[in-house]
A and B are shown apart, each in its own frame.
Chain A
Amino acid sequence: MKFYDLNISKPLLAEKERQLGFEKVVSLPVIEGDEKKVVGECKKKNFALVNPFRVKKFYENKLLTKSVLEGNKCFEIPVSFFLRLEGTERARFMNRVRLFLKFCLRKKACFVFTSRAMDESELKTPREWIAIGVTLGLDYRQAEYAFSGRVEKLGVVF
Chain B
Amino acid sequence: MKIKSRYLLIESSGGRDLIERAVSSFIGENGVSEFNFKILFQFKDKWVAKCYLKGLEQVIAATALKVRDGGNSAVVRIVKISGTIKALTSN
Residues on B facing A (Cβ under 8 Å): 25, 56-58, 60-61, 63-65, 67-68, 73-75, 77-78
Interface centre among B58, B65, B73, B75 (most CB of A within 10 A): B65
CB of B67 within 8 A of CB of A131, answer no
Report how far A35 CA is from B64 CA in the complex, Å. Answer: 31
CB of B57 within 8 A of CB of A135, answer yes
B50 → A minimal CB distance (Å): 17
Partner of B60, one of A90, A121, A122, A127: A127
Report how far A135 CA is from B57 CA in the complex, Å. Answer: 7
Interface residues on A, range: 10 to 19
Partner of A121, one of B57, B75, B78: B75
Known: A128-B60, A131-B58. 11 other contacts (CB 8 A): A87-B25, A119-B73, A121-B75, A122-B67, A124-B64, A128-B63, A128-B78, A131-B57, A131-B60, A134-B58, A140-B57
A56 → B minimal CB distance (Å): 26
